[in-house]
Amino acid sequence: MSAAPTSTTAALPTSEQHGIKAHSDGRFGFVPVQTRNDRFKSVDVADFAPVTGREAVWKLSPVAKFTDLTAGELDGAAYDVDSTPTDGVAIDWVGRDDARIGSVGAPEEQAAANAWTSFEKALAITVTGEEDKEITITRARLGTGPRGAHTIIEARPFSRATIILENTGDARLTENLEIIVGESAHLTVVTLQEWNTGAVQLANHFASVGRDAYLKHVVVSLGGSIVRVNPSVRLAGPGSDTDLYGLYFADAGQHLEQQVYVHHDAANSRSRVTYKGALQGAGARTVWIGDVLIGRNAPGTDSYEQNRNLVLTEGTRADSIPNLEIETGDIKGAGHASATGRFDDEQLFYLQSRGITEDEARRLVVRGFLSEIVQHIGSQPLEDRLQAAIEAELRSTDEVRAPATTKEN
Amino acid sequence: MSVLEIKDLHVSVETDQGTKQILKGVNLTINEGEIHAIMGPNGSGKSTLAYTIAGHPKYHADSGSILLDGEEVLTMTVDQRARAGLFLAMQYPVEIPGVTVTNFLRTAKTAIDGEAPAIRSWIKDVRQSMTNLRMDKSFAERNVNEGFSGGEKKRNEILQLELLKPKFAILDETDSGLDVDALKIVSEGVNRAKANTGLGILLITHYTRILRYIEPDFVHVFVNGRIAEQGGPELADRLEDEGYDRFLVDSNVG
């Protein structure tokens, strides 16, 4: 509180009494970040204030459960990676001085910056050659100690590939992934989270899509305790194109989060964001935040984002927040949609009226709901595997709905 | 021989304004192989009758009964009714995203028969029925009703009628929204199903148009939640000429 007025003779109200001075909360004149692209960025963890949980980027996350990752010391050493050698895909560990590091994005929060500050070597996946190829790269032995990591995926101009990043086992991981899609390249990146029950992963993906290039990015989160995968894609070249898909299935006590950001930064760029999730069991929690920014230099943009959540039991919570910023009026289209709901009773009635039991009808509806994402992945073996994983999740739904006397683990 | 009997059926529905009585004592007996047309003005309770027979949770049967070969239908779940031999072709079939027609048909057939159909003859049956209904092969791989036109949805309903082979089918305004070509195709499908399996049909319609292609044995006029008049096919002709005004005046006065 500032000093009281010194003059007591005037009966007229003073400016202080009118409140046109700074408020005592110290935020007078404070202007929040006006556009998604103006958020503070730094690769140095020391530049970030301690996480309170009130920050825009953290406010829906259980921040108290991973303070070791946001502010603690991290193991930044190289780790075991399994893959089958594939022509046209080179996998190397590179030093911090690799020119590609930092060429696409920079952390906007402390955990990402902590990973960036801590990593010793970056895993670099370099794609060359115009023929289609598919590779699965598996991390299965990250262990339970807090770890920071950095990955680069570079698709050279005109190259084509599908990269499946498979994550299993234990983890306490904060990491950054930079994806560089060169001119006219055609890249699919699938990140599959099938961690053990207690695992925590905080991932930030930064992608830059070049002229006439295409990126399909798929996030599938099924296993783990807290899994946060935040992809940012900048459509950097004219005619660049991206499809961002997400599929998540949160069980009791699981927190699955994704903050998606698409920045249209060039003419005639196209984006589609489609995330679908199912929730079951007490404390199952999902968060989806979808930001789209259509920049001033992105005339002819065609953009649409949507999130759908299917709530299977009581006691779950799904947050779904679509945001759209448009800085140019000269666009083809921009829209967003979000819906979170229970089963559609009319769908169940329709299926049951054809003789299908209620349980089977529910399974059909959920399977169908999530299949829409699976069908777009474009790798038959992976699609088959994911359908099986969804079946397994659904079988556990039946257990939640009608608890069995014996429980397997 | 199968018989579907509706006895003194009273049905209400919950609305924002409270409970609303819709069916006020319906009596109707349909034998296997018979076609009964139920005609009536909007709001008379025709669709309520259809959905009550199928077991839609929105409709509460307050009294009366529906018997299928002597078995009480009202205490059965929706899927039990279907497995017992009842089929409802809906006026507004819903979309089931991500579930293909092929998958849906096989799942339903397996549920109705209690065992999976023999794969080779099943595929042949599905193809044949689709060809008969002038449905393109690509329908099989599309998601159920997703992006279907009005006519395609109705054909998809009749496809299920032909393949699931119920004892009794209720067709709820199957003719609405169909152009004359689609109406003919759909009607042929219904007649074919009846010729093949001898099912009984309850044909609910607002207009007499479909009765030119599916000839009813009996016509019932539905007004204000009960059957106001019944007769043979000639009653439909009379309705064609006179409309429903006669009944509406009666009910208003009564």
Record the pTM.
0.79
The pair of structure tokens assigned to B116 is 């999976």
Q: Is B77 on the interface with A (CB under 8 A)?
A: yes
Q: Is B112 on the interface with A (CB under 8 A)?
A: yes
A350 closest CB neighbour out of B55, B57, B94: B94
Kindly report the nearest CA distance between residue A245 and chain B, in angstroms: 15
Average pLDDT on A264-282 reads 97
Does the pLDDT at position A167 exceed 60? yes
Mean pLDDT of chain A: 91
Least confident of B10-24, B191-205, B231-245: B231-245
Beta-carbon separation of A353 and B164 below 8 A: no
What pLDDT, on the 0 to 100 scale, is given for residue A17?
A: 61
Distance, in Å, from the CA atom of A128 to the CA atom of A116, rounded to the nearest integer, reads 26
Domains in chain B, CATH or no CATH each:
3-253 (3.40.50.300)
Cβ under 8 Å to A: B residues 31-60:
54-57
Beta-carbon separation of B98 and A358 below 8 A: no
A355 closest CB neighbour out of B56, B97, B111: B111
Percent of chain A with pLDDT over 70: 89
A371 closest CB neighbour out of B87, B98, B104: B98
- pLDDT single digits (tens) B143-182: 999 999 999 999 999 999 999 999 999 999 999 889 999 9
CA B5 to chain centre: 15
What's at A107, amino acid-wise?
A: P
Rg, chain A, Cα only: 24
Kindly report the nearest CA distance between residue B141 and chain A, in angstroms: 12
Confidence of residue A12 (pLDDT cuts 50, 70, 90): low
Q: DSSP assignment of A109-162, as one string?
A: SHHHHHHHHH-SSEEEEEE--SS--EEEEEE----SSEEEEEEEEEE-TT-EEE
Name the strands in the sheet holding B218-223, side by side, starting at the edge strand that comes first in the sequence.
Answer: B86-89, B168-172, B200-205, B35-39, B218-223, B226-231
What pLDDT, on the 0 to 100 scale, is given for residue B62?
A: 96
- pLDDT single digits (tens) B177-209: 899 999 999 999 999 999 999 999 999 998 889
Least confident of A15-24, B18-27, B38-47, B131-140: A15-24
B94 neighbourhood in chain A, CB within 8 Å? 344, 346-347, 350
Mean pLDDT of chain B: 93
- pLDDT single digits (tens) B79-128: 999 999 999 999 999 999 889 999 999 999 999 999 999 999 999 999 99
- pLDDT single digits (tens) A125-140: 999 999 999 999 999 9
Average pLDDT on B136-141 reads 91
What pLDDT, on the 0 to 100 scale, is given for residue A24?
A: 59
Beta-carbon separation of A358 and B77 below 8 A: yes
B90 neighbourhood in chain A, CB within 8 Å? 350, 353
Kindly report the nearest CA distance between residue A311 and chain B, in angstroms: 16
Kindly report the nearest CA distance between residue A339 and chain B, in angstroms: 15
ipTM value greater than 0.90 = yes
Half-sphere exposure of A167 (CA within 13 A, CB side): 29
Beta-carbon separation of A350 and B56 below 8 A: no
What pLDDT, on the 0 to 100 scale, is given for residue A397?
A: 60
What pLDDT, on the 0 to 100 scale, is given for residue A408?
A: 35
Chain A interface mutation, best of B47, B51, B79, highest count of A Cβ atoms under 10 Å: B79
Residue in A with minimal Cα distance to B99: A368
Kindly report the nearest CA distance between residue B95 and chain A, in angstroms: 7
Kindly report the nearest CA distance between residue A366 and chain B, in angstroms: 9
3-state SS, residue A107: coil
Decide which of A212 and A314 is more confident.
Answer: A212
What pLDDT, on the 0 to 100 scale, is given for residue A28?
A: 58
Contacts of A321 (CB under 8 A, 6+ apart): A288, A289, A290, A338
Beta-carbon separation of A353 and B54 below 8 A: yes
Q: How many contacts (CB atoms, under 8 Å) link A and B?
A: 80
3-state SS, residue A33: coil
Beta-carbon separation of B79 and A344 below 8 A: no
Confidence of residue A4 (pLDDT cuts 50, 70, 90): very low
3-state SS, residue B3: strand
Farthest CA pair distance, chain A: 88
Confidence of residue A401 (pLDDT cuts 50, 70, 90): low
**Angle between the A358-374 and A380-401 helix axes, to the nearest 10 degrees?**
150
Q: Do the Cβ atoms of A221 and A194 come closer than 8 Å?
A: no
Does the pLDDT at position A30 exceed 70? no
Beta-carbon separation of A369 and B97 below 8 A: yes
In 3D, which of A243, A189, A233, A228 has the Cα closest to residue A207?
A: A233
